[in-house]
Structure 1
Amino acid sequence: MTPQLQQAIRLLQLSTLDLQQEVQEALEANPMLERQEDGEDYDNNEVSESHTDAGINTPTETGNSQESLYEAPSHSEESFEEGDWSERIPNELPVDTAWEDIYQTSASNLPSNDDDEWDFTNRTSAGESLQTHLLWQLNVAPMTDTDRLIAVTLIDSINDRGYLENSLEEIHAGLDPDLDIELDEVEVVLRRIQQFEPAGVGARNLQECLLLQLRQLPSDTEWLAQAQQLVGNHLEALGNRDYNLLMRRMKLKEDELRAVVELIQTLNPRPGSQIETSEPEYVVPDVIVRKHNGRWLVELNQEAMPRLRVNAHYANLVRRADSSADNTFMRNQLQEARWFIKSLQSRNETLMKVATQIVEHQRGFLDYGDEAMKPLVLHDIAEAVGMHESTISRVTTQKYMHTPRGIYELKYFFSSHVSTSEGGECSSTAIRAIIKKLVAAESPKKPLSDSKIAGLLEEQGIQVARRTVAKYRESLGIAPSSERKRLI
């Protein structure tokens, strides 16, 4: 593989956010590169036309080899005046070599010299952890030094869900024997911690967690006493959805039991999840799909696509016959800059071809939703655009499409198929959508079993085994029928 092809493949599999970071590093490391500002005319390095009608056949690559996918189209005109530095970039560099073997510098190994704008916290800070949140409350709570030591040990034993992972006996055994701390003291400190926010933190099991949250509710809360009785004595029956047994034991009517259960459902069985421990991940769509005059249009997200060009002033400083170290460095930087721009152009062209073919295959989804999704595999798109399946896999990984129905990863549009009774095919995505629709419309008192769902699908001509229904149901995050039973 040539260095150009290696670079093009690497840029092709980067997400939009990673690509923007890569471009920023290249701009900082290579003086020959500069960003194209809004309102300025594109030069020869501009990406090709990025607005394509999905209803029109777009040109595809005709080459069969993967290398041909990254050959950038030639241009006969330059947007800046060419001087003695101008020379043709070779079509190919030696194979099986690294970029650093040809050029002296790389964007990845040169740090930014702008120390004034370097903000370490912005690049290393993460969301507040549960332990940090609890320690902050501990610092403002009045305690003796011994109790504070016990509290820090207890907080270290609380997991991300908010539960105490170790027993009090194990925590007590790990304390310094010279402090002569009794087990009762550890339990007293734990009760202090259990009064911290979020409510229910520091519990040893689910029952204690729910009871802690109920105790922190106002005393005049309706059905509070019954909810405490249910959680304290009949939690297992509630987990089994045995509502008839609960009504008999608690001597409640159906509507009264429903009110008690609704109060319990307002509680959080994982109180630690309320504290965000990681930075939010943002999704920037690479492709935008919209409908215009009854036709689906596909276009690149220009705001997310970096626009670069060669700096004409620095490029004109390169002299052909000069072999000095400075001139050699500038020549190498110029070569690297132009290949980087061509790799970006190749990435955008490939992304557009693949996205256009996906929209062409999945018009039913865009018009009618998940139930109209057609079966689609990588081979179908690879054959349509004349590329290798591995290339399609790279293009569809961590690339997103903005549609009127939401933002989806390109891989979402690929799914296997199931044969129908009429000899046709139905995609697994469409079957999942049908299962979700059936479950949403089921009777709460008598939810549909997997066998019943398989029978309903068979009535629609879709032959799916019960175990396949169970697999699709689990992938949708839908609980089994025994756990979906609830009061009306």
Structure 2
Amino acid sequence: MLKQTLQQKLLQKLSPQQIQFIKLLQVPTASLDTRIKEELEENPALEDGSLANMNDSIEDYPDKDPDDYENKNDDGFEEEFSLEEYIQEDDYKDYGGNYNSEDDEDHKEIPIAIQDSFFEKLQNQLDLLALTDKQYLIGNQIIGSLDDDGYLRRPILSLIDDLAFSQNVMAEESEVEEMLAVIQEFEPAGIGARDLQECLLIQLRKKDQDNTIVKKAIEVVRNYLDEFTKKHYDKIEKQLNVNSDELKDIINEILKLNPKPGDSAAVAGKQLQIIPDFHISNNDGVLHLTLNGRNAPELRVSRTYQDMFEHYEKAEKNDKKMKEAVQFVKSKLDSAKWFIDAIKQRQQTLLKTMNAIMKYQYEYFLTGDDRMLKPMILKDIAEEIDMDISTVSRVANSKYVQTEFGTFLLKSFFSEAIQTDSGEEVSNKEVKKILEECIANEDKRKPLADEKLTEILKEKGYTIARRTVAKYRESMNIPVARLRKEL
């Protein structure tokens, strides 16, 4: 049976301004410029305050020609924004297209070094060969199917289908295999391999085959690659009937090879660009915090749009198009004000959060010594600045601070507390630092197991379970003892 009832609920809903602020808070500094430019293009009522506004007074810009201002009506409103022209615009055209948000001086292209890409280099090598049209098309298809790291992970049968559908070339499996072998001779060595083993073998076969070490290295890669990757060196010694010195030379020969012979230069160029949000300087023992200027852009509401809105408010509102025009201008003005407020709130939140972190970890920022880091969790800072933990988390997870001893993600300053035998609470960062030093100074022929590391920490006053030591070691991307073993 269906029936209607009245219910009263108390719900928490985010306002559009709050949602906009949350999104802006998460944006890293490197992307903030792009986000602001997008808003400037979408909203003509928002202006970059660093640019000269055409509606400012002549006294403010004496270099401007006074004739430019002769076309204003009695209300000080420029003719180009006249009511008649405005309401005749179809669907209210996007004003962003006519708005220039950059100075001519700043709009300079960054010079880029011109060089052939990885695929272009392979294509150039293919062009130098004396091939039939069919062989060239097969080779071209193989090059286009390579991954960025230089591997061919697409099956041969799939390549045959690709050639048939896209190039209308009917190729046999043997023909594709033959052209693949040709491409595998290209530079860089190891290109066109279908797995790691084939990649390493291609590179080793290009070396001096009369060299005994190279021959043994080929045998290891061909027959004992699994034992090699797991560092079961004793098994390899027995199988190859070599001593530890000879095995060391063989291992070093393999380690010289490139497991990813593809476009390593392009991959290196894709590294994340880190732009710090804060700068902390040490002035004779007194820390000084500043916010990156890119986080504080000069934005303002367009005076032209404000004048336009006031003009429309005074006009008759019986006309439907006039009402639509007033509504459109008001929405753009509100949106511009919201965005400016969100940017200001972002600045205040960033400074408030970082200032609390700096005061909490004052001794660390003075020295840069990890052992001076105090245990600190998100809740500590949230209570200090009277904000929600989620807000602090958004700041800590995406913002960087530049100090005199490096640039760090704010998240790296947060750590849990560990109690020593003396009852003192220290940061787990201190324990990780000790683990890192122990592993760095260990005998690589007999690396320290987790049990031994646990004993060392216990001797230093840190009673920690072995599984916790393993967790800390993994968080620092340090492999287990067996994989750290060296000859």
TM-score (norm 1): 0.72
Amino acid at match of 2:452: K
Q: After TM superposition, give the deviation of residue 463 of structure 1 in Å.
A: 2.6
Seen in structure 2, the aligned counterparts of structure 1 residues 309 and 211 have a Cα distance that, compared at 3 Å, is same
Match of 1:21 in 2: 34
The reply on whether 1:348 has 2:347 as its aligned counterpart is yes
Tell me which of 294, 310, 326 is aligned to 2:285: 294
Match of 2:133 in 1: 145
% identity of equivalent residues: 36
Deviations, residues 271-313 of structure 1 (Å, cap 9, x unaligned): 2362636844322211111211102221101145322234446
Seen in structure 2, the aligned counterparts of structure 1 residues 435 and 7 have a Cα distance that, compared at 3 Å, is same
Amino acid at match of 1:411: K
Counterpart contact for 2:377–2:415, Cα < 8 Å? yes
CA separation in 2, counterparts of 1:240 and 1:16? Answer: 42
CA separation in 1, counterparts of 2:159 and 2:216? Answer: 34
Match of 2:17 in 1: 4
Give the secondary structure class of the aligned counterpart of 1:271.
Answer: coil
Match of 1:377 in 2: 377
Amino acid at match of 1:322: K
Match of 2:5 in 1: none
Seen in structure 2, the aligned counterparts of structure 1 residues 187 and 293 have a Cα distance that, compared at 3 Å, is same
Q: After TM superposition, give the deviation of residue 214 of structure 1 in Å.
A: 2.3
Q: Unmatched 5+ residue regions in structure 2?
A: 1-13, 53-74, 77-90, 317-321
Tell me which of 207, 216, 221 is aligned to 1:231: 221
Seen in structure 2, the aligned counterparts of structure 1 residues 365 and 139 have a Cα distance that, compared at 3 Å, is farther
Give the secondary structure class of the aligned counterpart of 2:381.
Answer: helix
TM-score (norm 2): 0.72
Q: After TM superposition, give the deviation of residue 377 of structure 1 in Å.
A: 1.6
Match of 1:73 in 2: none
Number of residue-to-residue matches in the alignment: 415
The structure richer in helix per residue is 2
Match of 1:268 in 2: 258
Which range moves more in the overlay, 7-16 or 176-185? 176-185
CA separation in 2, counterparts of 1:11 and 1:180? Answer: 55
Match of 2:150 in 1: 162
CA separation in 1, counterparts of 2:265 and 2:209? Answer: 26
Give the secondary structure class of the aligned counterpart of 1:26.
Answer: helix
Counterpart contact for 2:420–2:426, Cα < 8 Å? yes
**Cα RMSD over matched residues?**
4.0
Between 1 and 2, higher relative CO (CA 8 Å, sep ≥ 6) is seen in 1
The equivalences for 1:66-465 within 5 A come to 112-113=97-98, 134-135=122-123, 137-155=125-143, 158-165=146-153, 168=156, 181-217=171-207, 223-244=213-234, 246=236, 254-272=244-262, 274=264, 276=266, 279-312=270-303, 315-316=306-307, 318-319=309-310, 321-323=313-315, 325=322, 329-366=328-365, 367-465=367-465
Could you say which structure has the larger radius of gyration?
Answer: 2
Amino acid at match of 1:391: T
Q: After TM superposition, give the deviation of residue 422 of structure 1 in Å.
A: 2.7
Q: After TM superposition, give the deviation of residue 335 of structure 1 in Å.
A: 3.7
Q: Unmatched 5+ residue regions in structure 1?
A: 40-83, 86-104
Give the secondary structure class of the aligned counterpart of 1:272.
Answer: coil
Deviations, residues 393-440 of structure 1 (Å, cap 9, x unaligned): 222232221122322222222233333333333333333332222211
The reply on whether 1:480 has 2:480 as its aligned counterpart is yes
CA separation in 2, counterparts of 1:3 and 1:167? Answer: 51
CA separation in 1, counterparts of 2:18 and 2:359? Answer: 28
